Every structure is written in C-alpha cells, then in structure tokens.
C-alpha cells in the first residue's frame, strides 16, 4: 500500500512542495491539482487539510505521515509520533500590544487562536488573564478594543507593524514538522522508511 501523506493547506503546502521537489519526487500532479483535496501519484496518496485536521487524520491512521506546524502540535497535543523538524515554516509565538497603549496591571484580556499556549504562558508567569478565542486576523482584537493584547504567530512582523502593534515578548519558535501515525510506523515500515530517510537527508542538506 502506498504511503498516505496529509499536508497542511496553504503556505506549508507550498513550502513542502519545494522541499519535496528538491528531493527529486514528482510534484507535477500536486501542482496541477486544482481544488482537489486528494491526489494520487505513482508513489503516494496525498490529502490536503487544515493543520489541526492533518493531526486528526494522522492520529486516526487515515494518513501515515503528516506535515504540520509545530504550533499546532503544542496547542492540540495530538497522539502522534513527532518525527523531526522540516527546514521551512519558521515562525515564532509572540505576545503583542498596541503601540503606546498602557499595559493594564490587572483584568487583562488576551485574544488568540492558541488558547492553550496562551493559558500556559500566563500560568508560568503567575498572571491571571481572560482569554478570548479568535479563528484568525487576531491583530484586529486590540485595535477594535476587544482585547488588551494578542498571542499570535509572527514571522516578518509586517502584520503587527501594519496594524499598529508591537511585540511585548517572544516565547516559542516553530518550524513545520513531519509527524507519523504510531501504528503505521510499525505496520508500514517497509514503505515508510525510505520516505522518512529521504526527508531526513533533505533536512540535513538544508
Ligand atoms: N506568517 C507565517 N509565517 C510562517 N509560518 C507561518 C505563518 N503563519 C502561520 N505559519 C505556519 O504555517 C501553519 C499554517 O498556517 P496558515 O496561516 O497557512 O494556516 P491557517 O492559519 O490555518 O490559515 P487559513 O485559515 O488561511 O487556512 C501554521 O500552523 C504555522 O506553523
Ligand atoms: O509576521 P508576519 O510575516 O506578518 O506573519 C504573521 C501573520 O501570519 C499569520 O496570519 P495568516 O496570514 O495565516 O492569517 P490569519 O490571521 O487568518 O491566520 C499569523 O496569524 C499572523 O497574522
């Protein structure tokens, strides 16, 4: 049986395809997939999903391998084998606030998609905050007065800057990761080992 790989749609997918092509795999069917969410190549089955759903497909053994941001693994703690980092998808987690706005001593409200990471960050600091969950465009929350600050992913810092926010603290660094279903690693060892080894070689030369 061909290995099934679940890919996080969007920027990780694009960066993975470049990486995959650099390992001399055929990416043609993936580049020309249109709106298809499932693509078969001679060697692999690919499925395309949101990051957190990639972990679900891998956890349930629908996909053998997954390519997902480490932020998702830390936030959702799926029961998967976290194999190794990949040389793309680099970003950080930051606490950010509005430029020139006073940081309240008490009764702080923080908006984030990453509510578990946020909770743990403030728990470690011994500070109590209210957390509001948002699904995206988190930078809007302080501007619109929904929150005093945000905890979100930062790469270039452009989104923060263009929305009048500044970093108050940076506390985690991430990259994309290759994850695997625990049973697949044993049952499909013969087909997965060469793939995993080729990915690892690719990581080593980057
Ligand atoms: N600005 C960024 N720079 C680099 N990596 C990022 C950035 N934003 C997110 N990532 C990484 O890429 C992964 C997927 O993020 P992406 O924004 O493509 O998906 P998403 O947040 O689910 O967006 P959408 O809702 O548009 O699908 C994240 O889990 C994170 O690891
Ligand atoms: O530091 P930067 O390079 O500007 O990147 C950071 C932005 O990228 C991500 O957003 P994304 O583009 O995924 O949109 P989203 O807010 O809908 O998740 C993240 O949530 C930040 O908003």
CB 123 within 8 A of CB 173: no
User: 91-173 adopts what CATH topology?
Assistant: D-Maltodextrin-Binding Protein; domain 2 (3.40.190)
Rounded CA separation 160/16 (Å): 26
Pick the more confident residue, 64 or 104: 64
Residue 11 CA to ligand 1 centre (angstroms): 6
Residue 206 has pLDDT above 80, yes or no: no
pTM beyond cutoff 0.90: yes
Pocket test for ligand 2, best of 155, 156, 157, 173 (most atoms within 8 A of CB): 155
CB 95 within 8 A of CB 171: yes
CATH superfamily of 4-89+175-205: Periplasmic binding protein-like II (3.40.190.10)
Give the number of the atom of ligand 1 that is nearest the alpha carbon of residue 72.
Answer: 29
DSSP run (H or E) holding 204: helix 189-205
**DSSP tag of 44:** -
Rounded CA separation 174/44 (Å): 27
For the chain, the structural domain boundaries read 4-89+175-205, 91-173
The binding-site residues of ligand 2, defined as CB within 6 angstroms of any ligand atom, are 136-139, 152-159
| Per-residue pLDDT tens digits for 86-109 | 999 999 999 999 999 988 888 899
pLDDT confidence of residue 194: 96
Range 125-134 contact pairs with CB under 8 angstroms and sequence separation of 24 or more: none
Rounded CA separation 88/68 (Å): 11
| Per-residue pLDDT tens digits for 160-175 | 999 999 999 999 999 9
| Residue whose C-alpha is closest to residue 136's, from 148, 153, 121 | 153
pLDDT confidence of residue 114: 98
| Per-residue pLDDT tens digits for 8-59 | 999 999 999 999 999 999 999 999 999 999 999 999 999 999 999 999 999 9
């Amino acid at each position: 049986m061909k290995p099934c790989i679940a890919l996080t749609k969007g920027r990780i997918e694009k960066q993975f395809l470049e990486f995959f092509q650099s390992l001399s795999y055929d990416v043609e069917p993936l580049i020309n997939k249109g709106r298809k969410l499932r693509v078969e190549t001679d060697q692999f089955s690919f499925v395309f999903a949101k990051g957190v759903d990639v972990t679900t497909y891998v956890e349930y053994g629908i996909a053998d391998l997954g390519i997902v941001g480490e932020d998702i693994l830390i936030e959702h703690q799926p029961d998967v084998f976290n194999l190794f980092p990949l040389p793309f998808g680099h970003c950080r987690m930051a606490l950010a606030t509005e430029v020139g706005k006073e940081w309240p001593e008490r009764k702080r409200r923080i908006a984030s998609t990453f509510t578990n990471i946020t909770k743990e960050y403030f728990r470690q600091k011994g500070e109590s905050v209210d957390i509001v969950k948002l699904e995206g465009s988190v930078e809007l929350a302080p501007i619109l007065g929904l929150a005093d600050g945000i905890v979100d992913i930062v790469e270039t810092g452009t989104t923060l800057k263009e929305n009048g926010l500044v970093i108050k603290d940076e506390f985690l660094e991430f990259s994309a990761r290759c994850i695997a279903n625990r049973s697949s690693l044993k049952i499909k060892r013969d087909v997965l080992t060469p793939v995993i080894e080729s990915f690892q070689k690719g990581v080593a030369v980057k």
